[in-house]
Amino acid sequence: MTPRRARPARGLATLAAFTLALALSPAAPAAAGPPPGRLPPTRTEPPFGAPLTREMARLAAAIASDDPARALAVFFPEAAYVRMKTGEIPDPARDYADRLVAFLRLDVAAYHAVLDAGRPARFVRVAADPAFAQWIAPGACENSLGYWHEPGVRLVFAHDHRFVSVGVDSLISWRGAWYVVHLGPNPRPRDVGTVLSYSLGPGRPGPPGGC
């Protein structure tokens, strides 16, 4: 089924949990070399704190500008996905383009519609629970390679003199860095752009589990 655009769903408010400040130094320029997805995987657990906040700020900027191309900068690399899925599903490259990236494009538009309603929202911080990070062993979840998984990270915004937040369904690792693999919920009841767990206030990261 081809994903299509729809109005985003809103979730219930939850309580705040672990939060990370946005006070960051500018990111250093990337060193020249092969794209990360073309390099072999490692078991290095990605850091939280400033590195995660920096990447989620880039995602928030893509949502604010309704620009999926900018979101691809923090999206799981295609070469890594193909490597991970080869032998596990029939056509990893097609699945990446027609499902993962297609949903990302729809979800960026859906998140933008919620957060830009009437007055643009300002990204404040990211909320995550490092205790939820889990190593997914090779062979699990139709993946031939292992990786770290972090569920339910939340992006917290200031919007119309109050805090609101939205969820990011899944981050997974490659070579010690976090990448978005599902912005909206996965799976979802309909193939449309969908906001994960919109909340007044910072919300609560998680729940744990998944892969």
Element (H, E) at 148: strand 147-159
Is residue 85 situated within a structural domain? yes
Is residue 111 situated within a structural domain? yes
Is residue 21 situated within a structural domain? no
Is residue 121 situated within a structural domain? yes
Q: Write down the H helix ranges in the chain.
A: 49-64, 68-71, 78-85, 92-95, 102-115
Is residue 205 situated within a structural domain? no
Domain that holds residue 78: 42-200
Measured in Å, how far apart are the chain's first and last C-alpha atoms? 23
pTM of the model: 0.84
Is residue 32 situated within a structural domain? no
Task: Show pLDDT as tens, one digit a residue, over the chain (211 residues).
Answer: 445 444 433 332 222 333 333 334 444 444 567 888 889 899 999 999 999 999 999 999 999 999 999 999 999 999 999 999 999 999 999 999 999 999 999 999 999 999 987 788 999 999 999 999 999 999 999 999 999 999 999 999 998 889 999 999 999 999 999 999 999 999 999 999 999 999 999 999 999 999 9
Domain count, the chain: 1
Is residue 133 situated within a structural domain? yes
Is residue 12 situated within a structural domain? no
